[in-house]
Structure 1
Amino acid sequence: MNTESMEDRVEILDQDEHVGWADIKDGIWSYDLSDLDEGDHRVVGRYRGTDSTPWLFAQGASEYVEDFEGLPSERFTEFEQSWYSAIWAPQNPNNALRPKATLNGSRLGLHGKALDLVAQRVNGIVSDCIYTMTFHSLWKTVTFDCYVQTHTEASRRWIETLNDSNDILNSFTLPHTRGLQRIVLSNGERSIRALRFNLIPADEGGAALRIYVDTLEVSAR
């Protein structure tokens, strides 16, 4: 096939503007539309002067950033943004502390408000914290700042990414030393649908287990 010939290629147009060419192989052609700008699109393939049926769709942003400045001042169970929804669903909600915004994140090296997640052990009752952010689109990479409090080694804290089928893609265990760190989670494909924080305090020892999350970014790259 001579791909230099316009006879062997399909011209791709968006809103009647040329955006590229697609080679034809065995009567089939395809074109990657992921690099189109955010917004509404009307895409057609033009072959020998004839246009295909148009594809009408809205392209989402290539990334979003959550700085948590919009968090309510009181503790909450659910939180909704334009590009994700979040829910706090521990196994023992009657004894667990709901998430809240910490207003003085700067003392921890964070910026402004931050998401405050805590699990606790009170009077022998262990209350976990499970906080899930479900994105409205699929993403390749999730990055965020996380400040970890120092607690007993027996406590467990880990973060999972989930796909469309709610299967775990990867899991990252947070260390037990105090400090701020930048967490980058990616499985190499654009298929991350949700991010889940898991905090389980020790059966004995410290009374609480806490992390602060800030500047969370999802990216298609």
Structure 2
Amino acid sequence: MPKRGKKYNESAKAFDKLNLYDLDEAIKLVQETAKANFDETIELHIRLGVDPRHADQQVRGAVVLPHGTGKTKKVLVFAKGDKLKEAEEAGADYFGGAEYADKIQKENWFDFDITVATPDMMGVVGRLGRVLGPKGLMPNPKSGTVTMDIANAINDIKAGKVEYRVDKTAIVHVPVGKKSFGTEKLTDNIKTLIDAVVKAKPSAAKGKYLKSVTLTSTMGPGIKINAAKLSD
């Protein structure tokens, strides 16, 4: 077990680790136990009743959180022709073609948070799969990042779009805002995310789908939420 700091240990004593809290109680506790001297990110961790080893039980998608995440995301767009101007006008931070693929491969450049590409650029982007994939930066049609509607994709990202994807341990990890957001904004964001994940339930998934839901801050302990009430 990693050694925890004094603030973490103090925070962990503020609630019952075994208890399942209603959403509003959990948000209040996570804000009270986020004691770092910066505006901590609040994250939701959802354990799903799926087997990620099977292709028909993958859970992946994207959703625009009504209040964003509190972080401005840098967008790299792979496009050509008129779509480059569309990317520029929509506020993309970087836009171009093979020159950015070379920059990533040769300079190990990753000064961006999300990659968007038009379908006709996937030949260029495809060769970056080994470096972009492990970092979660590979464009994908399911998350709306492989599209001809570049402007809409960028607008959604800048407005607070987040991607969710089940990992090998069947857990989805997603930032849902900052400590400073307050209860109302965090509640809106969390409910929007939960609704999206529930709608994305694979038909092959059997039994209980939302197995556990935990809310954490960057430096604070995890607080378990009563998942049964979230999916009512």
TM-score clears 0.5: no
Query: Larger relative CO (CA 8 A, sep 6+): 1 or 2?
Result: 2
Normalising by structure 2, report the TM-score.
0.25
**Structure with greater strand percent:** 1
Q: Which of structures 1 and 2 has the bigger CA Rg?
A: 1
Normalising by structure 1, report the TM-score.
0.26
